[in-house]
Amino acid sequence: MKTPVVIAVAGAAGQISYSLLFRIVSGELFGLEQPIILRLLEITPSLEKLHGVVMELNDCAYPLLQKVIPTDDSRVAFKDADYVFLAGAKPRKMGMKRKDLLASNALIFAEQGKALNEVASRHVKVLVTGNPANTNALITQRNAPDLSPSCFAAMSMLDHNRAISQLAEKCGVRSKDIKNIIIWGNHSETQYPDLHHATVKGQNAFALVEDEWITEYFIPTVQHRGAAIIGARGLSSAASAANAAIDQMRAWTLGTQNNDWVSMAVFADGSYGIENGLFYSFPVRVSAEGEVTIVSDLQIDAFSLMRMQVSERELKEERMAVQHLL
């Protein structure tokens, strides 16, 4: 058995966490040889509910789970944390845009950024899920100036998985047959799910589907999937969000395989003309040591560039709205 890793989860009594926590400690994140110490953060009024979650975790008798520390103090939760899932934030309701949540959620991430700066491992990986995820990642990172910007990412993997699933269904193949989908931009309705480089069983996806299906069905379906789930369930996605959080943190830590890539919203470095420092979703490859590289030199046509820039503009507007916290 390896040395235990410390995994912190904020919003630990929430919907996403109710799926995420059990999958983390069952070994789905880092495998069956990796023991885990869980640090669970909630607001004070939800501690009793969190106590119930802790009882259930204990009742699973997971061999990998060494210790669970529930708390309402972010400095206790993030102490020496190696991996952090930030899912402690309000979800939107029907009719809202994710950016409407900034008013209620932005401060949470400023506070959690400060706590991470003080107490987390200097090599921590912080995955921001709470919406609006990209701008919350920016707020968190800016409030943690002693940590490298590469310690932070926002979740694009749910959009990435949604895009894979739509293309797989259209082509009558399995999700494993789809490679090199890209989600560009913000986790919002301006995101751009791009099929130009995607392959289906090794064949270019563009040759297999009609242009009209891409523009009239595929792109809007992926862009609006979160709202469609809220419309159907009355609650925002939770199990699929937890699944994506596991996929993204696993890829970020253990690396991407076979020259394939995934989409992650990371600190922009000027690639593709996107402004430095925004948290923008790019195609990335990750080394076995967990080092992320934005896939470079992809051909971008005018249609794609226009959509990429629309999403960049929205991120700049969101940034403007939280300038006081940066």
Count CA atoms closer than 13 A to 28's CA, side-chain side.
14
Which amino acid makes up residue 16? I
Q: Closest residue (Cβ) to ligand NAD?
A: 14
Q: 36 touches which of ligand NAD, ligand LMR, none (CB within 5 to 8 A by kind)?
A: none
Using CB under 6 A as the binding rule, whether residue 129 contacts ligand NAD is answered as yes
Q: Which is nearer to ligand LMR, 305 or 321 (CB)?
A: 321
Tokens of 178: 């789809």
Catalytic residue among 187, 196, 197, 324: 187
Q: How far is the CB of 228 from ligand LMR (least distance, A)?
A: 9
Q: How far is the CB of 107 from ligand NAD (least distance, A)?
A: 8
Report residue 299 CA to chain centroid gap: 25
C-alpha to C-alpha distance for 66 and 5, rounded to whole angstroms: 10
Q: Which is nearer to ligand LMR, 87 or 178 (CB)?
A: 87
Residue 209 CB coordination number (10 Å): 18
Using CB under 6 A as the binding rule, whether residue 98 contacts ligand LMR is answered as yes
Using CB under 6 A as the binding rule, whether residue 41 contacts ligand NAD is answered as yes
Residues of span 32-91 touching ligand LMR by CB under 6 A? 91
Q: How far is the CB of 50 from ligand NAD (least distance, A)?
A: 8
C-alpha to C-alpha distance for 254 and 287, rounded to whole angstroms: 7
Q: Which is nearer to ligand LMR, 226 or 283 (CB)?
A: 226
- Taking CB under 6 A as the criterion, the residue among 47, 229, 254, 326 binding ligand LMR is 229
Tokens of 69: 């520390």
Size of the residue set binding ligand NAD (CB under 6 A): 28
Considering only the stretches 25-33, 172-180, 235-243, 269-277, report the one whose residues sit in contact with ligand NAD under the rule CB under 6 A: 235-243
Q: Which residue has the tokens 């794609």?
A: 304
DSSP 90: P
Q: How far is the CB of 307 from ligand LMR (least distance, A)?
A: 18
Strands 65-71 and 36-41: parallel
Q: 43 touches which of ligand LMR, ligand NAD, none (CB within 5 to 8 A by kind)?
A: ligand NAD
Using CB under 6 A as the binding rule, whether residue 43 contacts ligand NAD is answered as yes
Tokens of 222: 């992926």
Interface characters, 130-169, with ligand LMR (x: CB under 6 A):
-x--------------------------x-----------
Tokens of 295: 């896939």
31 φ/ψ sector (left φ>0, alpha ψ -120 to 50, else beta) = left
- How many residues are given for the chain? 326
- Taking CB under 6 A as the criterion, the residue among 29, 36, 147, 158 binding ligand NAD is 158
C-alpha to C-alpha distance for 23 and 32, rounded to whole angstroms: 12
DSSP 131: S
324 noted as active-site residue: no
C-alpha to C-alpha distance for 313 and 287, rounded to whole angstroms: 30
Q: How far is the CB of 227 from ligand LMR (least distance, A)?
A: 6
Using CB under 6 A as the binding rule, whether residue 92 contacts ligand LMR is answered as yes
Q: 90 touches which of ligand NAD, ligand LMR, none (CB within 5 to 8 A by kind)?
A: ligand NAD
DSSP 61: T
Angle, CA 249 vertex, CA 247 and CA 252 arms, to 5°: 105
Count CA atoms closer than 13 A to 54's CA, side-chain side.
19
Using CB under 6 A as the binding rule, whether residue 236 contacts ligand LMR is answered as yes
Residues that bind ligand NAD (CB under 6 A): 10-11, 13-16, 41-43, 46, 87-92, 108, 129-131, 133, 155, 158, 187, 236-238, 241
- Point out the residues that are catalytic: 187
